[in-house]
Structure 1
Amino acid sequence: MGLALAPFAAQAAESDPWEGVNRAVFRFNDTVDAWTLKPIAKGYQYITPQFLQDGVHNMFSNAGDVTNLANNLLQAKPAAAGKDVARLIFNTTFGLAGFFDVGTKMGLQRSDEDFGQTLGYWGVPSGPYVMLPLLGPSTVRDALAKYPDTYTYPYRYIDHVPTRNTIFGIGLVDTRASLLPAEKLISGDKYTFLRNAYLQNREFKVKDGQVEDDF
């Protein structure tokens, strides 16, 4: 496996011309995370019943289907967009605002699309790898694409600032908590591992899993 992944690792390294700066930002992010988000996420998992964690996660996933729908439409994928619409309808109604993921149980698998993937789908190159302060791994293309996606986030349209900030904060904690199990998979140099995993995952998503096996 290690030999098989060597060509991709070399390609990933070539995609990281700003490694010195990226590593400095990574250390900053890692320190902030270790002292804030990670302890909060662990505490959240410890005091919150599993069914409630699942329900909260499902609700944010349901809201995220709006982003999936918008980008599937922009990528001219009517079938996938149709599933997104069906999921939104069934989960929002029968799933009680998305607390229960009835769509998946009905065989409607969730998409995972964003504007960065949409740009990649239409041939926009990813550009160099960048580590964004607080936001983590990205590329030039994906970093620029983050802002347009915010227009599909429901909390953006909540006028009551305390409510909007609370929902945003809960979503942040939910996302961080969902990543805790994945930390056990990290091996070797953490920066390199996360960079390679991010770039490989993005290539897989942009090409809808149709990645050529060169190994």
Structure 2
Amino acid sequence: MARLATAGIALALAACATSESAREANDPFEPANRAVYRFNTALDDAVIKPSAEVYVAMTPRPARTGVRNFMDNLNQPVVFANTVLQGKPRASVETFGRFAVNTIFGIGGLFDVASAAGVAEHREDFGQTLAVWGFGEGPYIMLPVFGPSNVRDGFGRLADRYPHPLQWNADYSGEEWAWAVRGLNGVDLRARSQDAISSLEAAAIDPYVQIRSAYRQAREQAIADGDEAAFEDLPDFDEY
């Protein structure tokens, strides 16, 4: 009985500690989030990571660079819309210029002519826009497949669908080639994130907590117009 009582007290203390930790991390849904994280990890191990490894093995580096350039260029209308909404005229002009130059002279964006010409690249999304407008991040959430997020960024992800070129025409947005483009983007992003994911998993006692912390830090930097590229290295999978 004494052992049972001791075990019960230990479990209660552990539960309180976990609850307190979750509150401090703004993660009130931690048990559900961890379940989603385990699902994402299993899906990654079974499908996404092997696909990324095959992609890297079968695709020469210059071709992978072209894919990345194309996907980045395809996302420029989303960035442009958010620079306008955030009241950043210079960033808006530069983003519009990048899209025009790379689309026309970069063969649809396969070549990053704009960067070679010194045109700055920006990374803005509607989650950042909502933050600029004063909306709080809300609770942390782990999205199936797409990974770490919060309530504000979750709504932002949905809103960012509309200015994206794959959504411009309802007749083709659901066609097989459009889904193939989205799938290729996900595989390419996973391949580019491999080193960051491996380092995180190797160094972290609890990868879930480390991902949560890294996500929050990266988003804070991006919202403050710090290291906007930091968000790329997180184990997240872009929707488009």
Q: TM-score surpassing 0.5? A: yes
Per-residue deviation, residues 34-86 of structure 1 (Å, max 9, x unmatched): 10011001100000011000001100000111111000000010000010011
> After superposition, where does 1:42-191 map in structure 2 within 5 Å?
42-157=53-168, 159-160=171-172, 161-186=175-200, 187-188=203-204, 189-191=206-208
Which one of 25, 36, 48 corresponds to residue 37 of structure 1?
48
Per-residue deviation, residues 21-42 of structure 1 (Å, max 9, x unmatched): 1111101111011100110011
Aligned to 1:4: none
**Range moving further from structure 2, 50-59 or 18-27:** 18-27
2:33 and 2:103 map into 1 onto residues whose CA distance is: 40
2:111 and 2:121 map into 1 onto residues whose CA distance is: 13
- 1:36 is paired with a residue of what secondary structure? helix
1:26 and 1:58 map into 2 onto residues whose CA distance is: 29
1:12 and 1:91 map into 2 onto residues whose CA distance is: 45
2:223 matches 1:206: yes
> 1:68 corresponds to which letter in structure 2?
V
Per-residue deviation, residues 104-138 of structure 1 (Å, max 9, x unmatched): 11121211110000000111000111001111100
1:152 and 1:45 map into 2 onto residues whose CA distance is: 30
**Range moving further from structure 2, 81-90 or 179-188:** 179-188
TM-score normalised by the chain length of structure 2: 0.80
Please state how far the C-alpha of 1:169 moved relative to its aligned partner.
Answer: 1.4
1:157 and 1:19 map into 2 onto residues whose CA distance is: 36
Where does the alignment leave 5 or more consecutive residues of structure 2 unmatched?
1-20, 228-240
Count of residues in Structure 1 that have an aligned counterpart in Structure 2: 201
1:128 and 1:200 map into 2 onto residues whose CA distance is: 15
2:45 and 2:163 map into 1 onto residues whose CA distance is: 30
1:38 and 1:72 map into 2 onto residues whose CA distance is: 33
1:13 and 1:134 map into 2 onto residues whose CA distance is: 25
Q: Which of 1 and 2 has greater Rg?
A: 2
**Range moving further from structure 2, 82-91 or 12-21:** 12-21
Partners of 2:22 and 2:28 within 8 A in 1? no
1:165 and 1:19 map into 2 onto residues whose CA distance is: 31
Please state how far the C-alpha of 1:157 moved relative to its aligned partner.
Answer: 3.3
Q: Which has the higher contact order (CA 8 A, sep 6+)?
A: 1
- Identity among equivalent positions (%) equals 39
Per-residue deviation, residues 169-205 of structure 1 (Å, max 9, x unmatched): 1112112111112123202111111110000011111
Check 1:97–1:12 CA distance in 2 against 1; reply closer, same or farther (3 A cut): farther
**Range moving further from structure 2, 12-21 or 149-158:** 12-21
2:24 and 2:190 map into 1 onto residues whose CA distance is: 26
